[in-house]
C-alpha cells in the first residue's frame, strides 16, 4: 500500500511537475522489511565487501592499492621523500573518501608505525605506533614518505599488461585492479577488515618461510606446508604458544586462534620486569590499565608500580615488584588475568575474483600461484608481441639494405607525401607498418653501418622470440620463473623470525593460586542474614555485637582466613565463596548482608553456614515429616569456580534445620507434641546425591510433625538412653512426669 503526502509549499504546487524531476519524491510507501533489506541494504553490503573491507589475492584492499599506485606514479620508488600531504592530495584523484582516511591508510603501511613485517612506505617523522593507543601520528603536513625498496616487487612489470586497468571514479585516469606482486604479500603482511556480515583477519608469516613454502608447493602440489611454514610471525615479536593441531587446523580451514604472549626480561638489580613486546591484539595502555585494576581489587598484590617507559629504543613497560616476589610466578598470573597473553583470531577471508572465500593457507597459496602464473604469462605475451613487432620492422631494413639507393629514389621521386608509404610497400614488398618505419628513418641513419647493426639484431631477436614462445606455451617454464623470483625476493628481503615459539611442554602446567593471608578469624551469621568476620584481637576489644531489632546470632565458627564458605538457603540452593572474600569487620557493625553480597534471589535467605577446606565430612538435613538425608560435603565441590549450586537438598519436604559434621554425633529430635528421640547420625546411610529424600527416623500420628533438632550434649537429658529407639522409625518418647513441666518450659 502507498499514499502521497503533499509537500509543505505553496498550495498551487503541482505534484506532477516535481514528479517529473525526481521520480517518487514525496511518496511514502509501505514495504516489507525483507524487500527493503534486499533493495537497499544488500547492495550496500556488497559494496563494502567488494570495494572496501576484504583484501584480494594481491594482499591489498582498494584503499591500499590506490595509495601505493599513486606513489608509484609520482616516482616515489626512486626519488627522495615528499610531504605526506602531497601524496594524500594526489591519491584523492583515485580515492574520493577524504584526506584523513587516505593518511590513516598510509600510516598503517609505514615503517614508523611498525605494524607490518615489511612496510611498503618508507616514512620520516612521527607516524605513531601500532602498540600504543595514545601515541598518535603527526599531521600529514609535518611528515614525509616514499615507497620502500620492497614495494618495487609490487609493481614489477606493471606496464607490461600483467594486470587489468580500469577507470577511476571520474573516468580521468586508469588504475590497476590488482598489483602483480612477485611474492605472496597476502600472507606476509597482516590484513584485517570488517565488512557487512563478514570479516577478514589474516595473520602475517615470515617472508623466507612463505617464499620457500610457495616454491615447494609449485614443485609439488601435495607438499606438506607445515614442514616449511613453521608458524605465523608477528612484527611486534612476542612468543607464540605452539600447538601443532591448532596451526594445522588454521592451515587447513583458514580459521582458528593463535595464542601470543608478551616477551619480558627481569632486572634483578632493580627488582623489576621489563616488557618489550606485546601481542598484536592489544596496546601498552590497555595492559597498564588492566594491571592497575587488578591491583586495586587485590587480585594482584605483588606489584609496587607499573609505568610506560617507551622511548626511542621501542616499547618498554616496567613493573616494579615487592621484595621477595618470584617474577616467574607473577608473570604467570599476569598472563592469566591481563592481555599480556592474548589470542589472534584468524579468518582467511579473501576476494577471489568477485567472491569472498575463506581459504586455508595451502588453498590461498595455490590461488596466488594461479594469479602469478597469469601475470607472468601476460608479461611474456607482451614481451613476445613487442619483440615480434620489432623483428617485423627490422626485416624491412634487411630488404632495404639490398638496395638503399632504390629506397631513396622512391622517396625522392614521389610527388605527393601521401604516396610515399604505398610506393615503398610496392617497391620492396613490405607492409604498411614496415613502410612507416623505413620512411621515419633519419637521413643520417641511412648509412650502411647503422643498417648492418640493426639487421644484426635480428638474430638476437629471433632467439628471444623463440625463448618467449617456449615460455608462453609451457606452464612448467612459467612456474620455474616464479620459483626463481621467489628465491630472489627471499634472498634480498628475507629477515629472521620476530616471533619466537614456546612449546606446550615448556609452559608451566601448575594452577595459579592467589596467595591468601592465613590468620585466625571468628565468623558470625545471624538469623536475618548478616555476616561478620572478626579477628580474635578485635573480638577481645569489643565482644558486644550490634544487631538489628529481633535479630540474633545463629552460628559462631572459629576458623582461618584461607577456608571456603558455603551458605545453604531456604530455597534449596547453596552459594560458595571464600572467607578471604570478606573484609575484616568489628562486633560494633552490622556486617555484610549475605543475600545482597552473594546476589541471592528475591526472598532467599541463608539458613546455615559451613566452613571447609577439603570438603570432608557430611551434611544432615532434617525434614518436618521426620526424614533425615545424609549427604557427603564433597558433593558440593566443583572443579570450576561456580558461585551458585541449585538443588542443594531435597525441596519437596519442608526443611526444619541442617547440620555439618566431620564425625558421627547424637542429635535430639523434638515433635510438636513434646515427644523426643535421640538418634546417632551413624544410623543414617551416607549418600552422594544432593537431592536424596533420606530415610524415616521419626514417625508421627496425624497432625504431628518435627519442630526442632539440636546437637545432643552430655547431661542435657536425664536418662538419655530412655529416648533411644531400638528400631527406626520411632514416634519418640514423652519426658517423665516429674520433668515434664520443666522440660516443657524449655520448648
DSSP string covering 108-125: HTBTTTT-SSS-SEEEES
**Of 37-41, 489-493, 589-593, 683-687, the least confident:** 37-41
708: Cα within 13 Å, side-chain hemisphere? 12
Residue 273, all three cell numbers: 620486569
Mean pLDDT over 584-601 rounds to 91
Q: Is residue 741 pLDDT above 50, yes or no?
A: no
d(CA 452, CA 191): 56
pLDDT at 258: 94
**Each residue's pLDDT tens digit, 213-234:** 999 999 999 999 999 999 999 9
Tell me what the mean pLDDT of segment 241-265 comes to: 94
> In whole numbers, what is the pLDDT of the chain averaged over residues?
88
Higher confidence at residue 641 or residue 422? 422
Q: Give the model's confidence band at 744: pLDDT under 50 very low, under 70 low, under 90 confident, else very high.
A: very low
pLDDT (0 to 100) of residue 260: 95
Of the listed ranges 173-182, 261-270, 419-428, 450-459, the one predicted with least confidence: 450-459
> pTM of this prediction?
0.69
DSSP state letter for 645: E
Strand duo 349-352 + 564-569: pairing: unpaired
The pLDDT of residue 510: 54
> How far, in Å, CA of 156 to CA of 741, rounded?
110
Q: What is the mean pLDDT of residues 588-595?
A: 92
Comparing 174-183, 441-450, 713-722, the range with the smallest average pLDDT is 441-450
Mean pLDDT of 454-464: 87
Asked if residue 204 has pLDDT above 90, the reply is yes
DSSP helix/strand/coil, 572:
coil
Which among 717, 745, 734, 732 is positioned nearest to 669, based on CA atoms? Answer: 732
Res 535 pLDDT > 50: yes
Number of neighbouring beta carbons within 10 Å of residue 282 = 20
pLDDT at 23: 66
Is residue 519's pLDDT more than 90?
Answer: no
Name the percent of the chain lying above pLDDT 90.
64
pLDDT one-digit tens code per residue, 462-487: 999 999 999 999 999 999 999 999 99
Q: Out of 25-39, 232-246, 530-544, 688-702, pick the least confident.
A: 25-39
- The arithmetic mean of pLDDT across residues 433-438, rounded, is 87
Does 339 score more than 60 pLDDT? Answer: yes
Task: Please determine, for residue 394, whether its predicted confidence score (pLDDT) is greater than 80.
Answer: yes
User: CA 251 from chain center: how many Å?
Assistant: 17
Q: Using CA atoms in the order 181, 187, 192, 196, what is the torsion angle rounded to 10 degrees? A: 80
- Residue ranges of domains in the chain, CATH in brackets: 60-180 (3.90.199.10), 221-363 (3.30.1360.40), 365-493 (1.10.268.10)
Reading the block at residue 277, the C-alpha cell is 613486546
Cβ-contact 185, 155 below 8 angstroms:
no
pLDDT recorded at residue 11: 43
* CB distance 239 to 117 below 8 Å: no
Helix (H, G, I), strand (E, B) or coil at 565: strand
Judging by DSSP bridges, how do beta strands 553-560 and 82-83 pair with one another? unpaired
For range 549-565, the mean pLDDT:
92
Q: Give the N- to C-terminal CA distance of the chain in Å, as an integer.
A: 79
Strand partners, 123: 145
pLDDT value at residue 453: 81
Active-site residues: which are they? 142
Whether residue 189 is predicted with pLDDT greater than 90 in this model: the reply is yes
At residue 181, the 3 state secondary structure works out as coil
- Distance (Å, whole) CA 435 – CA 426: 10
638 or 75: whose pLDDT is higher? 75
Provide mean pLDDT across the span 520-530.
94
Amino acid at each position: 500500500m502507498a499514499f502521497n503526502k503533499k509537500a509543505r509549499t505553496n498550495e498551487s504546487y503541482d505534484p506532477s511537475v516535481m514528479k517529473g524531476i525526481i521520480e517518487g519524491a514525496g511518496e511514502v510507501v509501505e514495504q516489507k522489511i525483507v524487500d527493503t533489506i534486499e533493495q537497499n541494504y544488500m547492495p550496500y553490503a556488497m559494496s563494502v565487501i567488494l570495494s572496501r573491507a576484504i583484501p584480494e589475492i594481491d594482499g591489498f584492499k582498494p584503499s591500499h592499492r590506490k595509495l601505493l599506485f599513486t606513489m608509484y606514479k609520482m616516482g616515489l620508488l626512486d626519488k627522495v621523500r615528499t610531504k605526506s600531504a602531497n601524496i594524500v592530495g594526489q591519491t584523492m584523484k583515485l580515492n574520493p573518501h577524504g584526506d584523513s582516511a587516505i593518511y590513516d591508510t598510509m600510516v598503517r603501511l609505514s615503517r614508523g608505525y611498525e605494524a607490518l613485517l615489511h612496510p611498503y612506505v618508507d616514512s620520516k617523522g612521527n607516524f605513531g605506533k601500532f602498540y600504543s593507543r595514545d601515541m598518535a601520528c603527526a599531521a600529514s603536513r609535518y611528515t614525509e614518505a616514499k615507497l620502500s625498496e620492497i614495494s618495487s616487487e609490487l609493481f614489477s612489470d606493471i606496464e607490461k599488461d600483467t594486470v587489468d586497468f580500469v577507470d577511476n571514479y571520474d573516468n580521468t585516469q586508469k588504475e590497476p585492479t590488482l598489483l602483480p606482486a612477485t611474492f605472496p604479500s597476502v600472507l606476509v603482511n597482516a590484513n584485517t577488515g570488517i565488512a557487512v556480515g563478514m570479516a577478514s583477519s589474516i595473520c602475517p608469516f615470515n617472508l623466507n618461510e612463505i617464499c620457500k613454502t610457495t616454491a615447494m608447493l609449485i614443485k609439488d602440489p601435495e607438499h606438506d606446508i607445515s614442514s616449511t611454514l613453521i608458524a605465523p610471525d608477528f612484527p611486534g615479536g612476542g612468543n607464540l604458544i605452539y600447538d601443532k593441531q591448532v596451526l594445522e587446523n588454521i592451515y587447513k580451514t583458514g580459521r582458528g586462534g593463535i595464542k601470543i604472549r608478551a616477551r619480558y626480561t627481569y632486572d634483578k638489580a632493580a627488582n623489576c620486569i621489563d616488557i618489550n613486546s606485546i601481542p598484536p591484539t592489544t596496546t601498552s595502555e590497555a595492559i597498564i590499565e588492566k594491571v592497575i585494576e587488578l591491583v586495586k581489587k587485590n587480585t594482584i598484590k605483588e606489584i609496587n608500580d607499573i609505568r610506560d617507559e617507551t622511548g626511542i629504543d621501542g616499547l618498554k613497560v616496567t613493573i616494579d615488584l615487592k621484595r621477595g616476589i618470584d617474577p616467574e610466578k607473577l608473570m604467570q598470573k599476569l598472563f592469566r588475568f591481563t592481555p599480556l597473553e592474548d589470542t589472534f583470531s584468524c579468518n582467511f577471508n579473501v576476494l577471489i575474483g568477485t567472491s569472498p572465500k575463506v581459504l586455508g593457507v595451502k588453498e590461498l597459496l595455490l590461488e596466488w600461484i594461479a594469479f602469478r602464473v597469469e601475470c607472468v604469462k601476460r608479461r611474456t605475451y607482451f614481451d613476445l608481441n613487442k619483440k615480434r613487432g620489432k623483428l617485423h620492422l627490422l626485416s624491412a631494413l634487411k630488404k632495404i639494405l639490398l638496395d638503399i639507393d632504390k629506397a631513396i629514389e622512391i622517396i625522392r621521386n614521389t610527388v605527393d607525401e601521401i604516396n610515399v608509404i604505398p610506393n615503398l610497400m610496392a617497391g620492396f614488398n613490405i607492409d604498411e607498418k614496415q613502410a612507416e618505419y623505413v620512411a621515419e628513418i633519419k637521413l643520417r641513419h641511412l648509412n650502411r653501418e647503422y643498417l648492418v647493426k640493426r639487421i644484426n639484431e635480428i638474430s638476437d631477436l629471433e632467439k628471444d622470440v623463440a625463448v618467449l614462445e617456449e615460455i608462453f606455451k609451457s606452464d612448467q617454464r612459467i612456474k620455474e620463473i616464479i620459483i626463481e623470483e621467489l628465491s630472489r625476493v627471499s634472498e634480498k628481503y628475507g629477515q629472521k623470525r620476530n616471533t619466537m615459539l614456546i612449546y606446550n611442554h615448556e609452559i608451566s602446567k601448575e594452577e595459579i593460586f592467589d596467595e591468601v593471608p592465613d590468620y585466625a578469624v571468628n565468623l558470625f551469621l545471624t538469623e536475618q542474614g548478616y555476616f561478620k568476620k572478626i579477628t580474635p584481637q578485635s573480638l577481645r576489644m569489643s565482644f558486644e555485637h550490634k544487631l538489628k531489632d529481633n535479630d540474633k546470632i545463629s552460628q559462631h565458627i572459629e576458623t582461618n582466613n584461607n577456608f571456603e564458605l558455603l551458605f545453604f538457603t531456604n530455597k534449596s540452593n547453596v552459594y560458595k565463596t571464600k572467607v578471604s572474600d570478606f573484609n575484616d569487620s568489628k562486633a560494633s557493625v552490622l556486617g555484610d548482608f549475605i543475600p545482597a553480597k552473594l546476589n541471592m534471589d528475591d526472598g532467599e535467605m541463608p539458613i546455615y553456614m559451613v566452613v571447609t577446606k577439603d570438603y570432608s565430612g557430611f551434611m544432615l538435613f532434617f525434614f518436618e515429616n521426620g526424614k533425615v538425608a545424609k549427604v557427603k560435603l564433597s558433593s558440593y565441590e566443583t572443579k570450576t569456580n561456580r558461585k551458585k549450586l541449585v538443588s542443594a537438598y531435597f525441596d519437596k519436604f519442608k526443611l526444619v534445620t541442617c547440620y555439618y559434621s566431620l564425625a558421627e554425633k547424637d542429635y535430639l529430635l523434638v515433635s510438636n507434641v513434646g515427644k523426643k528421640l535421640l538418634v546417632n547420625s551413624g544410623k543414617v546411610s551416607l549418600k552422594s546425591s544432593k537431592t536424596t529424600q533420606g530415610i524415616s527416623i521419626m514417625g508421627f500420628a496425624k497432625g504431628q510433625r518435627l519442630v526442632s533438632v539440636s546437637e545432643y550434649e552430655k547431661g542435657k537429658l536425664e536418662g538419655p538412653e530412655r529416648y533411644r529407639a531400638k528400631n527406626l522409625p520411632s514416634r519418640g518418647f514423652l519426658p517423665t512426669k516429674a520433668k515434664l513441666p520443666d522440660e516443657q518450659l524449655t520448648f
